[in-house]
Amino acid sequence: MAQMTPGSPEWLQQVQEDIIDPQRPIIDPHHHLWRKRFNQDYLLTDLWADTGSGHNVQQTVFIECRAFYDKDAAPHLQSLGETRVITDMARQSHRQPGQAQLNGIVANADLRLGAEPEALREVLLAHRQIAGDLFKGIRQAGARDPRPEDLVIPGPAPAYLYGQESFRQGLRILGEMGLTYDTWHYHHQNEDFCDLAEAVPDTTLILDHFGTPLGVGIYRGSRDAIFTQWKQDMRRLSRCPNVHVKLGGLAMPDNGFDWHTRERPASSDELVAAQKSYYMHMIDCFGPERCMFESNFPVDRLSISYPVVWNAFKKLSIGFSESEKHAMFYGTAARVYHLT
């Protein structure tokens, strides 16, 4: 019998679970859409297959992933191609009753253009002209590791992006324009991100994927030490009221849980057992009103299915009040990204 491909529908369907609390309204504030990555497409119909798999996912937010770029445009304008394609998909989602609506786009721009404020504003206004109210903010990931060869998804960021004054000025312009800033980086960059958050208090910052504690390459076998430092970093970061956090994205291959190498994907109980301490510490630090559960699909799809990961989130939140659950599954994302 041929081995199934991790992330494929056939592989994911091996783990079936009853849907927990199926009526709870959900905003999925973090997913991608693309062609031919990890040998698979993930387009609107693929997203709908996931959002329609049992949980009450009502709205979603697309996060930039360097797909659909306009390679014929000037480098600083190429990301507008992605915004055009995703805006078309979002409008298509609005014409499909009963499907999750794509109601937010977090696009890409080089915020180091903050050294030339009018040039950056021109790019941001171009995104807004294409996407209108769908355009919520920018993600320019800070992820960079000294050994990218060890990683399945090596971050593309320049060295010490967060400390560059041109970048910080770009973040201040985002705040002036009422736009958010999402980022993704690795655990050893959390202190730099804390410095950044303290330097731009008037801009809403959103940390994706827990600051990605790595568990592969030179970091394999150091999970406890990394977790200890990570806890300190998150406590410090939580003192910045402009920072919100996404709870999810810990099932990426580079987190080192190795679910993507198995014959069967992870179950919700396995995710809870392996990762509960991360979720509880983050919620304890930031409070539910600054936390939002995220799928990070289709990246985490390499380890776990969509209905199963949301089951895990519901198990993780079982001890919280109804208002706290609503914040983490819906309210925080609605407020931060100005979703109706």
Q: What is the mean pLDDT of residues 114-142?
A: 97
- Per-residue pLDDT at 2 exceeds 70: no
3 found inside a domain? no
Question: Whole-prediction pTM value?
Answer: 0.96
5 found inside a domain? no
Task: At 306, list the tokens.
Answer: 């969509």
**Which residues share a beta bridge with 247?**
293
* 59-70 per-position pLDDT tens digit: 999 999 999 999
19 found inside a domain? no
Region at 229 (left for phi over 0; alpha for psi -120 to 50; beta for the rest): alpha
32 found inside a domain? yes
Cα–Cα distance for residue pair 96/296, rounded to 1 Å: 23
* 72-83 per-position pLDDT tens digit: 999 999 999 999
Q: What is the mean pLDDT of residues 119-139?
A: 98
Q: Are 209 and 184 in contact (CB under 8 A)?
A: yes
Q: Cis link prior to 307 (omega < 30° from 0)?
A: no
- Per-residue pLDDT at 198 exceeds 80: yes
Task: Kindly report the backbone phi and psi dihedral angles of residue 332, in degrees, each rounded to the nearest multiple of 5, phi listed first.
Answer: -65, -45
Q: In which residue are the tokens 């910045």 written?
A: 240
Q: Are 184 and 246 in contact (CB under 8 A)?
A: no
205 found inside a domain? yes
Q: Helix and strand tally (H, E) in the chain?
A: 11, 10
Whole-number average pLDDT of the chain: 97
- Per-residue pLDDT at 221 exceeds 80: yes
Cα–Cα distance for residue pair 28/293, rounded to 1 Å: 7
15 found inside a domain? no
In this predicted structure, what is the pLDDT of residue 340?
78
9 found inside a domain? no
Q: What is the mean pLDDT of residues 156-162?
A: 94
How many structural domains comprise the chain?
1
Cα–Cα distance for residue pair 178/298, rounded to 1 Å: 28
Tell me what percent of the residues of the chain surpass a pLDDT of 90. Answer: 96
230 found inside a domain? yes
Quickly state the pLDDT bin for 1 (edges 50, 70, 90): very low
Tell me what percent of the residues of the chain surpass a pLDDT of 70. Answer: 99
* 280-325 per-position pLDDT tens digit: 999 999 999 999 999 999 999 999 999 999 999 999 999 999 999 9
Cα–Cα distance for residue pair 329/293, rounded to 1 Å: 6
In this predicted structure, what is the pLDDT of residue 3?
74
Distances in whole angstroms, Cα of residue 320 to Cα of each of 120, 177, 272? 42, 35, 15
Q: Which domain does 311 fall in, by range? A: 24-336
* DSSP secondary structure, 9-42, as one string: HHHHTTS--PPSSTT-EEEEEEE--EEEETTEEE
CATH number, domain containing residue 57: 3.20.20.140
